[in-house]
Amino acid sequence: MTMSTQHERKPWSARTRETRDVLDWRRLHALEALWNPGTLALLDRLGIGPGWRCLEAGAGIGSVAHWLADRCPRGLVVATDIDVRYMSGEPRPNLDFLFHDLVDGADFPEAHFDLIHCRAVLAHVPEREHVLERAVRWLRPGGWLVVEEPALFPVDSSPHPLFRTCVEAHARLMEESIGTDLRWARTLPAALGRAGLHCAGMTAQAVAVGDGGPGDEFWQVSFEQLGPAMVDAGMVDTADLEQVRASLDGSEIHDLSWALVAAWARTV
């Protein structure tokens, strides 16, 4: 999901728009590298049919949407986001990119989609359970809803105090700025139940740092984007933040950060 939403209440940084765009692009690519393998394996287990209609909500760069389009050559994939500038790939007849706000954007037809997938979207939207209720209406009988959201719980027991402090400050800043809740993902089965569905399964994959992989890139970019605001808010000091970034560069921290919690359910 693109993070600059219409629900944003205050700026995170005074950087130029061009710099913010580059950093957002890097962050989105890092998230795809981290999470696509698990996401695609989960979606593949659902038995996606060639004629399915799928909604990829909060599509980001669009790689999952393109993967779905490959699986649904006679169907249709609608990929939505509140910022479609980052969606990439060649145009294809069964894939539509659409600017759409899940909270108060236009309704899709009821009982329209065979699959709705959203990743790293609802944790950042205060009206998350309202969005779930809308999504259930858009699903056909027998349709699947797959929700994947980041969660903070692996950080709670981190043996690296400065890293834990910086990651928790990053989460607190997002909570205060746009209403992010990185504890909500753990309650996904109950949230699906309140939306009228029975959770069919749940899993989690943690983001590793210190291995030179996309987890390091994600946190370097995230701290570059939000670090100044974290310092200005008194959540961390510059020296501690720079020490954590240097430790990531030097692979001095081997740890887990966020987890991506997935839960899925099927309509009757």
Task: Report d(CA 132, CA 147) in Å as an integer.
Answer: 9
- Render pLDDT for 68-85 as a digit per residue (tens, 0 to 9): 999 999 999 999 999 988
Quick check: is 236 in a domain? no
For residue 18, the model assigns a pLDDT of: 61
Quick check: is 233 in a domain? no
Quick check: is 102 in a domain? yes
Task: Report d(CA 44, CA 159) in Å as an integer.
Answer: 36
Quick check: is 169 in a domain? no
Residues 6+ apart with CB under 8 A from 5: 82, 101, 124, 125, 178
Quick check: is 244 in a domain? no
For residue 7, the model assigns a pLDDT of: 35
Quick check: is 134 in a domain? yes
Q: What is the mean pLDDT of each run of 10 residues along the chain (268 residues)?
A: 43 58 94 97 98 98 98 98 89 95 97 98 98 98 98 97 98 98 98 97 96 96 97 98 94 94 97
For residue 10, the model assigns a pLDDT of: 39
Structural domain of 130: 17-152+181-207+259-266
For residue 15, the model assigns a pLDDT of: 52
For residue 88, the model assigns a pLDDT of: 85
Task: Report d(CA 148, CA 140) in Å as an integer.
Answer: 20
Residues 6+ apart with CB under 8 A from 179: 7, 124, 125, 126
Quick check: is 139 in a domain? yes
From the CA atom positions of the chain, what is the Rg in Å?
18
- Render pLDDT for 131-187 as a digit per residue (tens, 0 to 9): 999 999 999 999 999 999 999 999 999 999 999 999 999 999 999 999 999 999 999
Q: What is the CATH number of the domain that holds 133?
A: 3.40.50.150
Number of domains in the chain: 1
Quick check: is 38 in a domain? yes
For residue 2, the model assigns a pLDDT of: 59
For residue 19, the model assigns a pLDDT of: 81
Task: Report d(CA 62, CA 256) in Å as an integer.
Answer: 26
